[in-house]
């Protein structure tokens, strides 16, 4: 079991190192297969750990395996340790399982790219980093994994580095993540100062007012940055510049959910700072509404799905913010399935249309790629939360938990969740209808080419099919009014703070389902049957298209002043310094030129110099003696 956990962690790292060392000596397919294989091996290791834990008593399920002591400074000690407990095993399974499927999909999607090997090395590096994050036995290793997933994200968003938009998006993502890293580091400093260690149990010992609030705020800052919640959400839509499998793996299924994992893992600190936990829930609620609204006007197929991710993570934040850790993590799991499915189906569409991503040019693809249509439909239904697809079982308990928490905040959050359900149905079916239904558009007729039955086609269709199946059955492992194995599984790590009653569960499940169906129906009426026109509200339209002006605000508040400061510093300090150094070079050259005049090239001058020097030296020697 412990060995399984180490294998899970180290297998992708080995693949990344081997691909990097192999360089161009290995073929591209070798790199692809190696990366995929390593991820499947990691999944096998995760299964081994899972089975091992199953055979134990719930109270015994906590194993910390330390490789060696990594940092020692004064009384502070940190080990390279791996934690095997229900929460980490759950994340291991999700990360390695979905990761393996997505990397297998990439074999087909990235086939023919010039730099495939680099891609697969980065993907393996990312999987390793994410596993380090979730398996880390102390906060230092969690932070190490946290930083490395940020790095992998930067590398993979900017993968097509000759595109300026991709480079800019990668920088933006990294910088915003770095803000979160900074707040987390500050929080860790406080923890060390108060308790002297960075183990997870230290968080529970932070009694006392303002320290634990600051720590929780710092952790929340990191979670908000990594999970693209308000106010640090602007990097996620831009991150769609990366290849579609990257968007599927990093910006849907795993990295962005690291924030949710962090809050669950450090829930002890949040519970000691209830205000901050409420703030977390509030941020989640605001984000889910904002993202849902913005998704209504997006015209890029990947950006719609990106905003959907932002919105669903908002749901997860609401869940863990009110204390329903099991529901939040369950939604994380099902979301990984159907969001990856949606991204991968979108990837097949993009691939078939020669890299076109604008949905206004698409239409009528249903008849040309029926299986993709069905996969996308399954994903859409799961996302909207329709019975019996996966999202239904995981999303509604969160709303019920918000109601169970009660108080003004709880009801507001529940209302937001319900509105969000309506918006979700609306935007995802808008996307489905615009892309797949109707008559094939002229663009489609001109550029469409189907997936062939070769490696590319097989890798992409098989993995999508597997995820489609998971999106159907993945939710069946828990239906909270009746059976809740996931909650029970996670209870030793993070016991829930609220338990909704059966009545609450039923009512809000029904309400949420109804609102989702209303959303789907509205989408059909507006975009499918064209019975209702899109409302003409120019101000609203513009605000949504500008994503509530966040990018403009950050540009004016941060980007421009910093750029101006940099220019000022360059002109006032750096330029004079550099030209000063350049002057030293010129002066040296001048002096050298002076000395060069000594070399007349004339024999007699040199001879005269020798003779006179001898004469003078003789006098000197005689005088000295």
Partner 1 sequence: MLGPDLAWYLAVAAFLFCTGALGVLLRRNPLIVLLSLEIMLNGANLALIGYSRHLANGDGQIFALAVMAIAASEVVVGLGLVVALNRRQAPLDVDRLDTLRG
Partner 2 sequence: MIVASAGNALVWIVWLAAAGACIGSGIAVISFRNPFFSALALIGNLASLAVLYLLLSAEFVAAAQVLVYGGAVMVMFLFVIAYIGPQQESPWAGGPTWQSFAAVVAAGALFVEILVVIGMKAGGELGHAAPIGSSFGSPAEIGRLFLTDDLLAFEITSIVLLVAAVGGVILGAHARRQPWGSADAEAPHFDALRPGKTDART
- The binding site for partner 1 (CB under 8 A) comprises 596, 599-604, 607-608, 611
Helix (H/G/I), strand (E/B), else coil: 389? coil
Find the shortest distance in angstroms from Cβ 596 to partner 1: 6
Report if residue 446 touches partner 2, rule: CB under 8 A.
no
Report if residue 604 touches partner 2, rule: CB under 8 A.
yes
Find the shortest distance in angstroms from Cβ 613 to partner 2: 9
Q: Kindly tell me which of 514 and 608 has the beta carbon lying closer to partner 1.
A: 608
**In this structure, what token pair is assigned to residue 195?**
């308790």
Stretch that binds partner 2, among 258-266, 319-327, 387-395, 588-596 (CB under 8 A): 588-596
Q: Kindly tell me which of 584 and 603 has the beta carbon lying closer to partner 1.
A: 603
Please, are residues 424 and 398 in contact by the beta-carbon 8 Å criterion? no
- Tell me which of 533, 602, 623, 624 binds partner 2, using CB under 8 A: 602
Q: Kindly tell me which of 529 and 602 has the beta carbon lying closer to partner 2.
A: 602
Find the shortest distance in angstroms from Cβ 592 to partner 2: 6
C-alpha radius of gyration, the chain, whole number: 30
Q: Is the dihedral of CA 463, 468, 471, 474 positive or negative?
A: negative
Find the shortest distance in angstroms from Cβ 606 to partner 2: 12
Find the shortest distance in angstroms from Cβ 97 to partner 2: 60
Q: Is 478 left (phi over 0), alpha (psi -120 to 50) or beta?
A: beta
- Binding partner selected for residue 599 from partner 1, partner 2, none, CB under the kind-specific 5 to 8 Å limit: partner 1
Report the distance separating Cα 342 and Cα 375, nearest Å: 8
- Closest residue by Cα to residue 216 from 288, 332, 321: 321
Residues that contact partner 2, how many (by CB under 8 A): 16
Q: Kindly tell me which of 575 and 612 has the beta carbon lying closer to partner 2.
A: 612
Report if residue 618 touches partner 2, rule: CB under 8 A.
yes
Q: Kindly tell me which of 533 and 596 has the beta carbon lying closer to partner 1.
A: 596
Q: Kindly tell me which of 355 and 622 has the beta carbon lying closer to partner 2.
A: 622
Q: Which residues is 199 bridged to in the sheet?
A: 138
Please, are residues 60 and 73 in contact by the beta-carbon 8 Å criterion? no
Find the shortest distance in angstroms from Cβ 589 to partner 2: 7
Report if residue 612 touches partner 2, rule: CB under 8 A.
yes
Q: At what angle do helices 209-226 and 164-195 cross, to 10 degrees?
A: 160
Q: Kindly tell me which of 299 and 600 has the beta carbon lying closer to partner 1.
A: 600
Report if residue 584 touches partner 2, rule: CB under 8 A.
no
- Binding partner selected for residue 603 from partner 2, partner 1, none, CB under the kind-specific 5 to 8 Å limit: partner 1
- Binding partner selected for residue 619 from partner 1, partner 2, none, CB under the kind-specific 5 to 8 Å limit: partner 2
Report the distance separating Cα 317 and Cα 423, nearest Å: 18
Q: What are phi and psi of 437, to 5 degrees?
A: -90, 170
- Closest residue by Cα to residue 226 from 142, 292, 298, 282: 142
Report the distance separating Cα 130 and Cα 95, nearest Å: 7
- Closest residue by Cα to residue 219 from 201, 205, 196, 203: 203
Q: Look at the block and give the residue holding tokens 């308000």.
A: 230
Report the distance separating Cα 247 and Cα 560, nearest Å: 29
Report the distance separating Cα 212 and Cα 261, nearest Å: 19
Q: Which residues is 300 bridged to in the sheet?
A: 358
Find the shortest distance in angstroms from Cβ 568 to partner 1: 46
Q: At what angle do helices 390-405 and 407-436 cross, to 10 degrees?
A: 160
CA 298 from chain centre, in angstroms, equals 21
Find the shortest distance in angstroms from Cβ 574 to partner 2: 22
Find the shortest distance in angstroms from Cβ 591 to partner 1: 16
- Tell me which of 593, 598, 623, 624 binds partner 2, using CB under 8 A: 593
**In this structure, what token pair is assigned to residue 411?**
């009801």
Stretch that binds partner 2, among 92-100, 395-403, 570-578, 615-623 (CB under 8 A): 615-623
Find the shortest distance in angstroms from Cβ 188 to partner 2: 52
Q: Kindly tell me which of 453 and 604 has the beta carbon lying closer to partner 1.
A: 604
Contact positions vs partner 2 (CB under 8 A): 589-590, 592-593, 596, 602, 604-605, 608, 611-612, 614-615, 618-619, 622
């Amino acid at each position: 079991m412990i060995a399984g956990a180490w294998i899970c962690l180290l297998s992708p790292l080995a693949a990344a190192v081997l691909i990097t060392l192999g360089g161009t000596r290995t073929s591209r397919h070798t790199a692809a297969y190696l990366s995929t294989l390593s991820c499947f091996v990691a999944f096998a290791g995760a299964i081994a750990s899972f089975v091992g834990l199953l055979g134990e008593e719930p109270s015994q399920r906590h194993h910390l395996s330390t490789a060696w002591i990594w940092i020692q400074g004064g009384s502070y000690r940190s080990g390279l340790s791996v934690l095997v407990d229900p929460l980490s095993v759950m994340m291991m399974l999700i990360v390695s399982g979905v990761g393996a499927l997505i990397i297998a999909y990439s074999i087909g999607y990235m086939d023919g790219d010039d730099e495939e090997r680099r891609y697969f090395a980065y993907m393996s590096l990312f999987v390793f980093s994410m596993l380090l994050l979730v398996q880390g036995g102390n906060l230092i290793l969690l932070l190490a994994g946290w930083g490395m997933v940020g790095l992998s994200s930067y590398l993979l968003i900017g993968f097509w580095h000759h595109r300026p938009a991709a480079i800019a998006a990668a920088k933006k993502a990294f910088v915003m993540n770095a803000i979160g890293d900074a707040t987390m580091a500050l929080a860790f400093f406080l923890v060390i100062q108060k308790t002297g260690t960075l183990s997870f149990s230290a968080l529970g010992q932070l009694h006392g007012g303002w320290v634990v609030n600051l720590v929780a705020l710092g952790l929340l800052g990191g979670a908000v940055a990594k999970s693209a919640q308000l106010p640090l959400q602007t990097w996620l839509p831009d991150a769609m510049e990366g290849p579609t499998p990257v968007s599927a793996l990093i910006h849907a299924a795993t990295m962005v959910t690291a924030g949710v994992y962090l809050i669950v893992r450090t829930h002890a600190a949040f519970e000691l700072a209830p205000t901050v936990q409420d703030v977390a829930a509030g941020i989640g609620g605001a984000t889910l509404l904002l993202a849902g609204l913005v998704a209504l006007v997006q015209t890029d197929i990947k950006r719609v799905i990106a905003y959907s991710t932002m919105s669903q993570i908002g749901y997860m934040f609401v869940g863990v913010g009110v204390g329903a850790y099991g529901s939040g993590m369950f939604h994380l799991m099902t979301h990984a399935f159907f969001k990856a499915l949606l991204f991968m189906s979108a990837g097949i569409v993009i691939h078939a249309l020669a890299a076109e991503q604008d949905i206004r040019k698409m239409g009528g693809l249903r008849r040309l790629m029926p299986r993709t249509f069905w996969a996308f439909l399954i994903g859409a239904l799961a996302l909207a939360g329709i019975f019996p697809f996966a999202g239904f079982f995981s999303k509604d308990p969160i709303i019920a938990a918000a109601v169970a928490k009660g108080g003004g905040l709880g009801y507001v959050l529940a209302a937001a969740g319900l509105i969000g359900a309506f918006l979700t149905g609306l935007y995802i079916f808008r996307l489905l209808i615009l892309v797949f239904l109707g008559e094939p558009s002229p663009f489609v007729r001109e550029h469409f080419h189907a997936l062939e039955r070769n490696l590319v086609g097989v890798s992409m269709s098989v993995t999508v099919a597997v995820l489609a199946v998971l999106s159907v059955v993945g939710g069946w492992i828990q239906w909270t009014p009746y059976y809740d194995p996931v909650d029970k599984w996670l209870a030793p790590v993070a016991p829930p703070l609220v338990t909704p009653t059966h009545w609450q569960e039923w009512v809000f499940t029904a309400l949420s389902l109804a609102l989702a169906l209303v959303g789907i129906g509205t989408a059909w009426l507006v975009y499918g049957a064209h019975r209702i026109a899109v409302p003409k509200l120019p101000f609203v339209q513009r605000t949504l298209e500008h994503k509530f002006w966040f990018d403009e605000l950050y540009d004016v508040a941060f980007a421009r002043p910093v750029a101006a400061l940099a220019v000022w510093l360059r002109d006032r300090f750096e330029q004079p310094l550099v030209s000063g150094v350049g002057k030293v070079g010129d002066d040296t050259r001048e002096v050298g030129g002076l000395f060069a005049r000594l070399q007349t090239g004339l024999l007699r001058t040199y001879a005269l110099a020798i003779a006179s020097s001898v004469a003078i030296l003789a006098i000197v020697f005689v005088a000295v003696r």
